[in-house]
């Protein structure tokens, strides 16, 4: 009798934790484990701002799947672009461009999220995201390039537009991105004799009335004060009305000369979820507390792409799309897949949020572990200690720690590698948001499997 196939889609926090537990708990004869992912690494997303700032190298946050798994999982190098639950198959576009239908007995969907955008003129053409390793590397090159070009320019208008930077999104990602990159440009400008440091201006804007409301009023005020002291202009209750190649217009009527717009205003579930044809909640797949998908036999969904009920908060709340929840959901989903294989009852996911850590670069940080409010060096120690512990492989831990020590002793470097130097990288280019199939197209790819059932 053939072994059942467990197909895991996505190598983020949720997917990798699921695979690790499946490998640990299942005997080789119980199931075949497949992992669909276009890249052979797990991205440690919370440290991307430090990659963009050059504090960490890209390899430091790209955790090798070959090291973090036990070699029992077969990695399918490609992206899932459609799902046919009736045929029990996932349509996969491999990195070679070949499209195949991969069947499954149990499916775990953890494809993560993409940058959430709105119908704002010029946004998708001119904004840059901070969701992938390539985007972080691109933004670093782009920011340093603006300094290089401004230093060489004799046009004051061009210089002004290249030295203004706008980050949209006052949450965790946006705040850290603005803080880390502002620190980079402040250090770099000393190497440019023709640039006045006062010309470099960073703006952080968010439509919300508070900066990182998850921190609470006091720590939020501390973080806001740190940014103000750094010279970052924070505008709350404001968003982007229009984006252009050389300017950004805000909803309060201001128009800034600007050639760098970094968009971190939230995330949306992977478009893969829409190909199932089942119910969603604001784009996230509706699931039961045990993470099974109603109406889809053998399908589990978790992480940023699923609306997993938050049983601790209750009142219909769903778990926020954070790494903390994704990792624990991955382990629970694996336990439920194993229980399903062995004919045992499934258990609901329950987890109380443990807090938030925010690394603003240098000695600046604010953290709220287990409800305890910290700032400054104690907060920095907690933030970096948490991230260092969460990085799974020994090689990655060594790289991260070495990079932090090197940056602390030697300071920043300002090398521009020339990554995509002649091509403006858009959100669509980096996040492949137009790669997914419609339901009819999915059925075309799975027709042979349907006929054989």
5-46+60-115+268-353+431-452: CATH architecture? 3-Layer(bba) Sandwich (3.50)
Q: How far apart are CA 285 and CA 276, in angstroms?
A: 9
- On whether the 117-262 domain is CATH 3.50.50.100, my answer is yes
Rg (CA), the chain: 23
CB 337 within 8 A of CB 302: no
Number of neighbouring beta carbons within 10 Å of residue 416: 14
Give the pLDDT confidence score for residue 122 in this predicted structure: 94
Sheet bearing 255-257, strands edge to edge: 240-243, 247-250, 255-257
Mean pLDDT of 229-246: 95
Per-residue pLDDT for 130 more than 70? yes
Please state the domain extents for the chain: 5-46+60-115+268-353+431-452, 117-262
Per-residue pLDDT for 121 more than 70? yes
Please tell me the pTM assigned to this model. Answer: 0.92
Per-residue pLDDT for 443 more than 90? no
Give the pLDDT confidence score for residue 421 in this predicted structure: 62
pLDDT category at 397 given cuts 50, 70, 90 is: very high
pLDDT category at 448 given cuts 50, 70, 90 is: confident
Mean pLDDT of 191-219: 92
Q: What is the pLDDT of residues 288-324, one digit of tens each?
A: 999 999 999 999 999 999 999 999 998 889 999 999 9
Give the pLDDT confidence score for residue 252 in this predicted structure: 95
Whole-angstrom CA distances from 97 to 84, 100, 282, 291 are: 20, 10, 31, 31
Whole-angstrom CA distances from 342 to 17, 293, 301, 336, 345 are: 20, 19, 20, 10, 9
Per-residue pLDDT for 453 more than 70? no
Per-residue pLDDT for 428 more than 80? no
Identical fold at 5-46+60-115+268-353+431-452 and 117-262? yes
Q: Looking at 88-97, 205-214, 216-225, 417-426, which range is the least confident one?
A: 417-426
Tokens in use for 245? 């190649």
Per-residue pLDDT for 277 more than 70? yes
pLDDT category at 58 given cuts 50, 70, 90 is: very high
Q: How far apart are CA 353 and CA 307, in angstroms?
A: 16
Per-residue pLDDT for 164 more than 90? yes
Q: What is the pLDDT of residues 27-55, one digit of tens each?
A: 988 999 999 999 999 999 999 999 999 99
CB 66 within 8 A of CB 297: no
Q: What is the pLDDT of residues 172-181, one digit of tens each?
A: 999 999 999 9
Which H or E run contains 301?
strand 299-301
Q: What is the pLDDT of residues 66-117, one digit of tens each?
A: 887 777 899 999 999 999 999 999 999 999 999 999 999 999 999 999 998 8
Per-residue pLDDT for 419 more than 80? no
Residues 6 or more apart whose CB falls under 8 angstroms from that of 129 comprise 115, 135, 262, 263, 264, 427, 430, 431
**pLDDT-above-90 percentage for the chain:** 77
CB 236 within 8 A of CB 208: yes
DSSP 8-state symbol, 449: H
Per-residue pLDDT for 422 more than 80? no
Q: How far apart are CA 388 and CA 270, in angstroms?
A: 27
Q: Looking at 90-94, 187-191, 296-300, 430-434, which range is the least confident one?
A: 430-434
pLDDT category at 414 given cuts 50, 70, 90 is: confident
What average pLDDT is seen over the chain?
92
Q: How far apart are CA 114 and CA 131, in angstroms?
A: 7
């Amino acid at each position: 009798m053939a072994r059942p196939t467990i197909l895991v889609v996505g190598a983020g926090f949720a997917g990798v934790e699921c695979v690790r537990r499946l490998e640990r708990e299942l005997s080789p004869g119980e199931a075949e484990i497949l992992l669909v992912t276009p890249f052979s690494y797990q991205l440690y997303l919370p440290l991307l701002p430090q990659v963009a700032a050059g504090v960490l190298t890209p390899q430091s946050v790209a955790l090798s799947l070959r090291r973090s798994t036990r070699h029992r999982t077969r990695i399918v190098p490609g992206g899932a672009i459609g799902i046919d639950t009736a045929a029990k198959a996932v349509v996969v576009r491999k990195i070679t461009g070949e499209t195949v239908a991969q069947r499954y007995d149990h499916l775990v969907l953890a494809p993560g999220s993409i940058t959430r955008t709105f119908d704002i003129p010029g946004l998708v053409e001119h904004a840059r995201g901070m969701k992938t390793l390539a985007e972080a590397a691109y933004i670093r090159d782009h920011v340093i390039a603006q300094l290089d070009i401004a230093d060489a320019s004799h046009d004051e208008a061009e210089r002004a537009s290249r030295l203004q930077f706008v980050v949209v999104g006052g949450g965790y990602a946006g705040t850290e991105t603005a803080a880390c990159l502002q620190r980079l440009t402040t250090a770099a400008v000393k190497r440019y004799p023709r640039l006045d440091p006062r010309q470099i201006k960073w703006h952080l804007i968010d439509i919300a009335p508070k900066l990182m409301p998850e921190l609470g009023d006091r720590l939020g005020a501390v973080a806001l004060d740190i940014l103000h002291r750094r010279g970052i202009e924070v505008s709350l209750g404001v968003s982007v009305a229009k984006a252009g190649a050389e300017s950004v217009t805000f909803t309060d009527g201001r128009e800034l000369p600007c050639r760098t717009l970094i968009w971190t205003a939230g995330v949306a579930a992977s478009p893969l979820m829409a190909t199932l044809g089942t119910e969603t909640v604001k784009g996230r797949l509706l699931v039961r507390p045990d993470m099974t998908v109603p109406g889809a036999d053998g399908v589990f969904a978790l992480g940023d792409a699923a609306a997993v009920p938050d049983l601790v908060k209750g009142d219909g709340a769903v778990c926020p799309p954070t790494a903390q929840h994704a990792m624990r959901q991955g382990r629970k989903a694996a336990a439920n897949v194993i229980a399903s294989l062995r004919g045992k009852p499934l258990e609901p996911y329950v987890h109380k949020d443990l807090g938030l850590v925010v690394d603003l670069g240098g000695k600046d940080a604010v953290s709220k572990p287990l409800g305890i409010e910290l700032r400054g060096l104690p907060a920095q120690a907690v933030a970096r200690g948490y991230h260092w512990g969460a990085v799974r492989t020994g090689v990655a831990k060594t790289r991260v720690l070495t990079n932090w020590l090197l940056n602390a002793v030697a300071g920043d470097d300002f090398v521009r590698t020339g990554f995509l130097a002649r091509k403006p990288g858009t959100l669509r280019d980096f996040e492949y948001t137009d790669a997914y199939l419609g339901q009819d197209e999915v059925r075309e790819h799975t027709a042979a499997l349907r006929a054989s059932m």
